[in-house]
Structure 1
Amino acid sequence: MTADTAPGETTKSFEADVARLLHLMVHSVYSDKDVFLRELVSNAADACEKLRFEAIATPELLSAGGEPLITLTIDPSARTLTVEDNGIGMTEGEMVEALGTIARSGTRAFMDRMAEEAKGGESRLIGQFGVGFYSAFMVADRVDVVSRRAGGDTAARWSSDGLGTFTVGAADPAEAPPRGTRVTLHVKEDAGTYLEPHVIEETVRAQSGHVPVPIALKTAPDAEPRRIADGAALWTKPKSEISTDDYADAYRTLAGQFDEPALTLHYRAEGLHEYTVLAFVPGSKPFDLFDPERAGRMKLYVRRVFITDETEILPRWLRFVRGLVDSADLPLNVSREMIQESRVLAAIRKGVTSRVLSEMGKLTESDPDRYAGVWENFGAVLKEGLYEDEDRRAALLGLARFHTTTGGTAWRSIKDVVADMKEGQAAIYYAVGTDAERLKASPQLEGFAARGIEVLLLTDQVDGFWTSMVPEFEGKPLRSVTQGLADLGAVPLREGAEPASAEAVPEVEGFIAYLKETLGEDVADVRASERLTDSAVCLVANDRGMDRQLERLLASAGRLGGAAAKPILEVNPRHDLVARLARLDAGDAALREDAARLLLDEARVADGEAPSDPRAFAARLGRVLARALG
């Protein structure tokens, strides 16, 4: 116990991530500070909803404290703003867990991004992503929390100035709510506007007016409370009574973001199962989009009673969708174990997933530019569905958009690509890599460019995986430009383009045979190429082999499961360098061998790899240069 700690209280340090988060908020300047009130009201509403759920099994929890209510109290003389709810409340142990740690994975990525934006003086991040309870320290130099668990006789108190430690201990039950939690903010001098009733009322109406718990405002501790929000759940209202601003306000609370939704879904499903859906596709990427757990953020309600936000209502490849489902068919006392096995929920999952894809499909036609923004943000996640969900693969391919070798900066659908296929073209071609510009410069694409064949440029990590699971589209096979024979002979060259290859002279044929013999331990084969026009050599995989980019990804992750497959070296028989090397006489054996191995290293470098033996590569290059200059 320290001099500043009351009897019965202990001082603890915040978890490291919390301490860092508080430091970033307190020492950075943000203009969207209103978000703190939305977060505290949202927490209070969740507490009331959790009480409703627990009271289904234990009705006596509602015996004290009245109907669910959130009360905001302003005390200008004490410079305090209080947010009080009569929800489930917390024990002392729950306070430490909830207010001293951050349990959700993805927090570190959020804080790294928050720190980057703070360096530039940006203010979007807090409003865009929400930081829950800790956002209170943007406007308060001390926060006190007093709480009593519903049905409990004891109360607990938590207090902190946000500078690295907090105190926690027992509170006098006479000073605690009958049940629920009271959060008192000691408002900073520069945040005095939050002690003005009209500011609080406007902020609540703008950001939290739709929460399913009534909100009352007291302009002084002894003033009569006045309702400023009716607690009517937005999703239960007719769509005709809901404005675009109402939907945007609901989105910001449900999604924890502060932008505008790109797509809003609000409908009631009737028939075998009845349920209401209110869901949003965000207008920007949530910070936890690539959380390793890939957890969704949809809430499940049963007849307006919050049940859980941990049920997988949508597949993981739609985890960016935020919102809720309110079921009329699930029993109120359903357990989380029963939820996972419920046939009703399985039907809801199927129905909601299909509706989301259907609405996104409609958006591709009604507003292609807006859909392009959705794909820009979430295309890499939707592609996970191409790999994981065979039943919806066709629908997802229809939604997919690609950059291509001939499409410039525009997004192209796979239907667009098929419609523009060249005469004699038998497959849809794609190239997988990490950078579109680098892919365009790949030697493997030269023959395709000479014929004007459009090639998909795939630069997301998931691209190497889903392409292995999608053999065709509308009867046209999907083929990697780095696999197998290019088979381009049936497609005529563009007007003015040089032939990709000509009949090899005997010397070139012999040189290719020499390369195969010399490089036999490092390559699966050496052959003349149809796909090269400007480069001398390139590397490809065989027809049944793995795409080379996918093989590299698996190898880097330690998941290759064996040695990498040997590549095939393709040689451009019309290239001047190849022709000159082919004419070397037998007396130049050492130069021929150096040249053969340098050609293989050149192909590796062009493919984004390093020479297999950098010292040997340097020595060979030095010998060849010495001879050329000698």
Structure 2
Amino acid sequence: MSTVKETHSFETEAKQILDMMIYSVYSNKDIFLRELISNASDALDKLHLESLTDHGLSEYAKDPFIRIVRDEQDRNLSVSDNGIGMDKDEIVSYIGTIAKSGTKEFLDRLKEKREGDAAEMLIGQFGVGFYSAFMVADRVTLLTRKAGSEKAWRWESSGDGTYTLEEADRPIPGTTVTLHLKESDPENGMKDYTSEWVIREIVRTYSDFVSYPIKMQVEKPKDDNGKVLEDETLNSMKALWMRQEDEVTDEEYRQFYRHVAHDWQDPLARIVFSTEGVNEMHGILFIPPKAPYDMFMREGRKGIDLYVKRVFIMDDCDEILPGYLRFVKGVVDSEDLSLNISREILQQDRQVRLIRKSVARKTLQTLKKMLKEDREKYLKFWDEFGVVLKEGLIQGEGEEETVKKLCLFSSTDSERLTTLDEYVDRMPEGQDVIHYITGPSVEVLRKSPHIESLLERGEEVLLLADPVDEMWVQGASFRDKELRSVAKIAVDEENDEARKDLGGLLDFIKDSLKEEIKDVRVSSRLTSSPACLVGDEDDITPQMERIMKAMGQEVPDVKRVLEINPGHRVLKSMASMLEKGDEESLRPFCSVLYGQAVLAEGGTLKDPAEFGRQLSVVMEKALK
């Protein structure tokens, strides 16, 4: 066996996280043990999961345990498991590198804002619970052996930005994390973590529900008044989701959430359910208070653990959770699935489809109740997860109408977000459609020229600025009211009298802008703006065009219709110029009119420099 000790440096982001842990002033340092036990539990879960398909590992998966060893004399504390273990590459990847998108940006924000405690926030965002050991230890050693391998590795660091790595011996697969503890300092939250009663209390508080025995040797009295060390299991191992809700305290639920979600905050809501009959299952689901940084990443963790008859089967089980509810965390335990079910079988299993439907319905019922009874809390939820929930308007798997009632929208009525029910209830007599407009931002849409006449008539317009809005509104209706875009060509007839008053101006503008537009018509929607651009019913919208281009898709150029306000002074002056035969001077005015319409809807000019040149010509003409 090689005894060469290698020295490595933590990568930049990992070093930053480590420093934040070391210098954390967080008073509840007890969480380090919760995190180490949680990591050990995860390692046992993974070994169990891999042994289902790799029968060579099944001998290692017998008699799983987590063991805590205290050394009061040398002030050492260790947490061991006989789980999956790690090889050299996994140690470097898991501990020395935080290779996750958005890490640097998150750390920069954390430093700038200085909100909350860095230690807890980092554990929640990146699952780096192992690093929390440095809050209580000045040196940490990790001894690990991967199941199926004969080679073990020893990792050690004092948190100084480097770590050593060397081959070692370990009789069985698994991992042992040993902490050389700092001196106890109760005033600053540094307890004596070699104390039996301190360890008992932490395990009871944070890890009582862990499904593997957490063992520790404790002193027991002997008949001769002496004492003897005996193994004791510190946790009850009773699955929390199998207990009646009124038998479980709020604190136990909070700690369970932190265990399954790897989050430091309290959940926004919890959903405890139990069903019997054709599809028997139990579960505890949580709605987190904050969106994870990887919510829109394909590899982002979904957060639902699947158990069958109290046996862990798999984590990140998106087969039992619709994509538009991927923010939900928790556990579902089925009595009807097979213990050797695979991900491939999950996709076709009828019972899984029933579980998925039930999980979706329970979650939506909870959100409906929150919206009705606690609008402030629901707004917090919506700020974090509203964009994701909106995906259910397209992929609601039969729950689209329920999701519609849960969505909140900006509108011209007020700064307050509104539901579709509230919008319809406010509709004035004579309004028979739900008006909406899509665009790059609510601020731009609120000033759009397309909504001028509607606002003057007292009709409300929904301002839809989320990318998903472009998809679900197509052909949508609510309470028998059609949703209609205000940026599409109106069905009412054009004002022939107004067209006649402008002489040949419309034809002249159409000819001048023939490369940019397909038609010019008199508008019935404008009151204060000179012009706006509208599309035919089947035309792709500018917002959808931007979305598709951002996704790298080829998008054909779509010419739109320029609508003009015949009563506007600019159009009257242009008509006068045409009547006087000043056609060459009029062409730059046409270009600026079009450019202004593009900018007013939040669009981008194809040639800003040319627009600037034409604007200069118009300004010079006006100043003369």
Q: TM-score, normalised by structure 2?
A: 0.87
Which of residues 3, 6, 13 in structure 2 aligns to 1:7?
Answer: 3
Change (3 A) 1:421 1:74: same
Displacement of 1:440: 0.8
* Residue 312 of structure 2 corresponds to residue 315 of structure 1: no
Q: Distance in 1 between matches of 2:217 and 2:87?
A: 27
Shift of 1:97: 5.2
Q: CA deviation at 1:251?
A: 0.8
Greater shift, 85-94 or 299-308, is seen at: 85-94
Q: What value does the CA root-mean-square deviation take over the aligned residues?
A: 3.2
Is the contact between residue 449 and residue 529 of structure 2 (CA under 8 Å) also seen in structure 1?
yes
Alpha carbons of structure 1 residues 102 and 59: separation in structure 2 relative to 1, 3 Å: same
Residue 297 of structure 1, CA deviation:
1.5
Deviation at 1:502, TM superposition (A): 10
Q: Which of residues 152, 155, 158 is equivalent to 2:155?
A: 158
What is aligned with 2:32?
36
Work out the CA distance in 2 between the residues paired with 1:18 and 1:300: 31
1:425 pairs with 2:425: no
Deviations 1:373-424 (A, max 9, x none): 2222111001112123352211211111112110x23221111112222222
Question: Which 10-residue stretch deviates more, 376-385 or 93-102?
Answer: 93-102
Q: How much has 1:113 moved relative to structure 2?
A: 1.4
Alignment of 1:309-348 (within 5 A): 309-312=315-318, 313-348=320-355
TM-superposed CA distance for 1:365, in Å, is 2.3
Residue from 462, 484, 508 that aligns with 1:479: 484
* Structure 1 stretch displaced more, 423-432 or 202-211: 202-211
Measure the CA separation in 1 of the matches of 2:377 and 2:91. 43
- Counterparts of 1:612 and 1:387 in 2: how far apart (Å)? 32
The farther-off stretch of 223-232 and 315-324 is 223-232
Specify whether residues 51 and 627 from structure 1 end up closer, same or farther in structure 2 by C-alpha distance, changes over 3 A only. Answer: closer
What does residue 144 of structure 1 align with? 141
Cα 1:509–1:356 change in 2 (3 A) is farther
Tell me, in whole angstroms, the C-alpha distance in 2 between the residues paired with 1:19 and 1:302: 40
Matched, 1:579 2:575: no
What residue in structure 2 maps to residue 193 of structure 1? 191
One of 259, 263, 279 as aligned partner of 2:285: 279
Distance 1:15 1:223, change over 3 A: farther
Work out whether residues 502 and 574 of structure 1, in 8 Å CA contact, stay in contact via their aligned partners in 2: no
Deviations 1:575-622 (A, max 9, x none): 122112212233322221111111111111212234433333223222
Is the partner of 1:582 in helix, strand or coil? Answer: helix
Q: CA deviation at 1:293?
A: 3.6
Distance 1:15 1:334 in 2: 39
Question: What SS class does the counterpart of residue 581 from structure 2 fall into?
Answer: helix
Tell me, in whole angstroms, the C-alpha distance in 2 between the residues paired with 1:446 and 1:342: 53
Q: 1:546 to 1:355 in 2, by over 3 A?
A: same
CA distance in 2, matches of 1:529, 1:194: 78
Distance 1:629 1:284 in 2: 55
Instruction: Give the match's secondary structure for 2:498.
Output: coil
Residues 69 and 214 of structure 1 are in contact (CA less than 8 Å); yes or no, is this contact kept in structure 2? yes
Instruction: Give how far 1:92 is off.
Output: 5.0
Distance 1:434 1:24, change over 3 A: farther
> More deviation in 240-249 or 201-210?
201-210
- Matching of residue 401 in structure 1 with residue 408 in structure 2: yes
Tell me the residue number matched to 1:416: 422
Equivalent-residue separation in structure 2 for 1:226 and 1:554 (angstroms): 61
Helix, strand or coil for the counterpart of 1:229?
coil
- CA distance in structure 1 between the aligned counterparts of 2:316 and 2:76, rounded to whole angstroms: 35
Of 8-17 and 384-393, deviating more is 8-17
- Residue 348 of structure 1: CA displacement? 1.5
Residue 127 in structure 1 maps to residue 120 in structure 2 = yes
Equivalent-residue separation in structure 1 for 2:55 and 2:542 (angstroms): 62
Spell out the pairing of 1:292-307 with structure 2 (5 A cutoff). 292-293=298-299, 295-307=301-313
Q: Which residue of 2 aligns with 1:373?
A: 380
* Total equivalences in the alignment: 605
Partner of 1:495: none
CA contact (8 A) 1:92 1:157 kept: no
Partner of 1:583: helix, strand, or coil?
helix
Does residue 563 in structure 1 map to residue 556 in structure 2? Answer: yes
Q: How many angstroms apart in 1 are the aligned matches of 2:434 and 2:401?
A: 15
| 1:95 to partner: Cα distance | 4.1
Give 1:159 shift: 2.2
- Partner secondary structure for residue 562 of structure 2: strand
Aligned to 1:108, the other structure's residue is in SS state coil
Relative to 1, partners in 2 of residues 1:582 and 1:85: Cα closer, same or farther, differing over 3 Å?
same
> Structure 1 CA distance, aligned partners of 2:477 and 2:15?
52
Amino acid at match of 1:70: I
- Change over 3 Å in CA distance of 1:121–1:624 after alignment to 2: closer
1:81 maps to which of 77, 84, 105: 77
Query: Which of residues 515, 521, 529 is equivalent to 1:527?
Result: 521
Contact 1:210 1:249 in 2 (8 A): no
Q: Following TM superposition, by how much is the alpha carbon of 1:503 offset from its aligned partner in structure 2, in angstroms?
A: 4.8
- Structure 2 counterparts to residues 488-567 of structure 1, below 5 A: 503-504=497-498, 506-559=500-553, 561-567=554-560
Residue deviations 1:68-100 (CA, integer Å, cap 9, x gap) = 433333334433221122434445565455444
- 1:582 & 1:159 partners in 2: Cα distance? 82
SS at match of 1:409: coil
Cα contact 2:52–2:340 (8 A) shared by 1: yes
Contact 2:47 2:61 in 1 (8 A): no
Alignment match, 1:291: 297
Structure 1 residue 274: Cα displacement: 1.8
Quote the residue 1:183 is aligned against.
Answer: 177
Name the structure 2 match of 1:620: 614
**Preserved CA contact (<8 Å) 2:146 2:173:** yes
Q: Which has the larger displacement, 515-524 or 527-536?
A: 515-524
Residues 269 and 8 of structure 1: is their aligned pair in 2 closer, same or farther, counting only changes over 3 Å?
Answer: farther
Deviation at 1:214, TM superposition (A): 3.2
- Residues 421/355 of structure 1: CA separation in 2 closer, same or farther (3 Å cut): same
Deviation at 1:509, TM superposition (A): 4.7
SS at match of 1:84: strand
**SS, match of residue 533 in structure 1:** coil
- Structure 1 unpaired stretches of 5+: 490-500
**CA apart distance, 1:505:** 6.4
**Pairwise CA distance, 1:234:** 0.9
- Identity of counterpart residues, as a percentage? 38
Correspondence list, 1:138-287, <5 A: 138-149=135-146, 155-173=152-170, 178=172, 180-188=174-182, 192-193=190-191, 195=193, 197=195, 199-217=198-216, 227-287=233-293
Counterpart-to-counterpart distance in 2, 1:393 and 1:148: 49
State the Cα deviation string for residues 429-461 of structure 1 (Å, max 9, x = none): 112223322211111111121112111122222
Aligned CA distance change for structure 1 residues 563 and 231 (closer, same or farther; 3 Å): same
Q: In structure 1, the residue corresponding to 2:399 is in which secondary structure?
A: helix
Flag the 1:566–1:231 CA change in 2: closer, same or farther, 3 A.
same
Q: Report SS of the residue matched to 1:412.
A: coil
Query: For 1:628, what is the secondary structure of its paired residue?
Result: helix
Alpha carbons of structure 1 residues 618 and 369: separation in structure 2 relative to 1, 3 Å: closer
Q: Which amino acid aligns with 2:208?
A: G
Say if 2:24 and 2:118, in contact at 8 Å, map to a contact too. Answer: no
Q: Give 1:116's aligned amino acid.
A: R
Distance of 1:327 and 1:485 partners within structure 2: 54
Q: Deviations over 1:15-60 (max 9, x none)?
A: 6654554355446665564443222111112233344556678999
Q: CA deviation at 1:316?
A: 1.6
Aligned-residue offset at 1:249: 1.1
Offset at residue 425 of structure 1 (A): 1.9
Counterpart residue identity of residue 425, structure 1: Q
**Given the superposition, is the C-alpha separation of residues 86 and 31 from structure 1 closer, same or farther in structure 2, using an over 3 Å criterion?**
same
**Could you tell me how far apart the structure 2 residues matched to 1:65 and 1:288 are?**
32
